[in-house]
Amino acid sequence: MTSFLNNYKMTNNLSLLVILFSCIAYYLFAYQTLRTNFSQVLSLYSFLFVCFYLLYNHSQLNFKTLIYLGVLFRVLFLVAIPNLSDDFYRFLWDGRALFNGINPYLILPKNNPNLIINGSNLYQGMGSMNGSHYTCYPPLNQFAFTIPAIFSDSHLLISTTVMRITLILSDVITLFFGIKILKELKLNTRKILVYFINPFILIELTGNLHYEGMMIAFLSASLYFLFKQKKHLSAILFAGAISIKLIPLIFLPVFYKKLGFKKLFIYGCIVALVNILLFLPFASKELYSNFMSSIELYFQNFEFNASLYYIVREIGYRIKGYNIIQSVGKTTPFIIITITLLLSFLRKNNLKQTLITSMLWVICSYYFLSSIVHPWYIAIPLFLSLFTKYSFPVIWSFVVILSYSAYVNSSYKENLWLVGLEYILVFGYLFAELFQWKFNRKKNL
């Protein structure tokens, strides 16, 4: 049976039928689905993953056709208002504020609902929790938020459409450099489709307008030029990735064996200088305190879709009798730093594939220990996994949809049984891959 599934190829007519059903499902997801309707979200998402599996593994369509198909699926979302996330309202707020000459790091939407055109509507859309703290998005991300305001600082649909076009272009850049990295590593270029036509990427990045896609575009270009020995250009692009989302900072130590101490120091200085220059237009006395207060609030007060953290929290309840998130939030960074340094110094990261594998373990360790893991975060490990022998992030990109069960009611109460099922499947597949790799290694000795 397994052999039959591996060798089975769909006819072109059947492939076209799968494409048609995929288009219908994406349309329903984009325009006819609310996140409160979890059964519909789960059903459509699962159906799209089945279609994705068939197209990737069993279609006779050529590589270019599947790439064009990925573009087509993205275009289906073009004029949709995001329905699974309200973060884009804050993105638009920050962008319109900056477009009107207002420093977004110095204002609270809660205290200034009418400071910009339709500001009160954007504040209502983002919610009081999002609007009651200072923005935590780095400067290049702020400039990206401003692009929609250039075309319209009042019309919601025009703004979201422009925003979506920039993110589609980001995915095309990731496609371009992803293929180049796969060729550099002598891997099958078809693997990029695991990212480019994955329903998770289409829905979370193109559909819900999350800027992980733009960050990954910078990161992919940076890695390619690092492998081509163009270190200064790589550093500038890496700085761009950090200035979209701060999370790539965690990867810097992993470059130690690839670059050596002296070159890594220069690389880090370029990254720091670029980010300082990008922050300069926003410089003020309150910038640092406001920015860091939001970062600290985020890590020490919010909980969502966590794995190992929830186990530690439960132990804390039993021992202390209360939620220990603040003390865990202060301890976790030291654990992550230790894991990162061990992976940086003990592994052969001078080898390209080993380096990316170490990056994958670093980011996954971070997310496994975090108190908050939003679905779109998985885009980074999914992208990195393309260049390794591991595919558990693909499984994660599917089962992460279970976290949306929290939005069934207005209290956003998580169904911990479903969260538990998500991570049982992720860790189960991860350990199965590790065991299989270890078994094959012993077999070949």
Q: Per residue in 88-132, pLDDT tens?
A: 999 999 999 999 999 999 999 988 878 888 888 899 999 888 888
* Segment 8-19 mean pLDDT: 85
* Segment 297-302 mean pLDDT: 72
Q: Which residues contact 187 (CB under 8 A, 6 or more apart)?
A: 387
Q: Whole-angstrom Cα distance, residue 335 to residue 369?
A: 9
Asked if the model's pLDDT at residue 443 lies above 70, the reply is: no
Ranking 4-8, 227-231, 378-382 by mean pLDDT, the lowest is: 4-8
Domain that holds residue 440: 2-444
Confidence of residue 438 (pLDDT cuts 50, 70, 90): low
CB 215 within 8 A of CB 241: yes
Which pLDDT score, from 0 to 100, does residue 1 have?
A: 44
Confidence of residue 4 (pLDDT cuts 50, 70, 90): very low
How is residue 296 written in tokens? Answer: 């600290």
Which pLDDT score, from 0 to 100, does residue 64 have?
A: 95
Per-chain mean pLDDT for the chain: 91
Which pLDDT score, from 0 to 100, does residue 324 have?
A: 66
DSSP 386-410: TTSS--HHHHHHHHGGGGGGGGGST
Which pLDDT score, from 0 to 100, does residue 445 have?
A: 44
Q: Return the closest-CA partner of residue 204 out of 367, 63, 357, 375.
A: 375
Share of the chain above pLDDT 70, in %: 94
pLDDT, one tens digit per residue, over 191-215 is 999 999 999 999 999 999 999 999 9
Asked if the model's pLDDT at residue 261 lies above 60, the reply is: yes
**Strand, helix or coil for residue 303:** coil
Asked if the model's pLDDT at residue 19 lies above 60, the reply is: yes
* Segment 290-305 mean pLDDT: 80
Which pLDDT score, from 0 to 100, does residue 319 have?
A: 77
Per-residue burial over 47-71, b if 16 or more Cβ lie within 10 Å, else e, is: bbbebbebbbebbebeeeebbebbe
* Domain total of the chain: 1
Which pLDDT score, from 0 to 100, does residue 104 have?
A: 94
Which pLDDT score, from 0 to 100, does residue 178 have?
A: 98
* Segment 281-288 mean pLDDT: 90
pLDDT, one tens digit per residue, over 205-245 is 999 999 999 999 999 999 999 999 999 999 999 999 999 99
Dihedral angle sign, alpha carbons of residues 109, 112, 115, 118: positive
> How many CB atoms are closer than 10 A to CB 102?
15
CB 136 within 8 A of CB 211: no
Asked if the model's pLDDT at residue 24 lies above 70, the reply is: yes
* Segment 39-61 mean pLDDT: 95
pTM of the model: 0.94
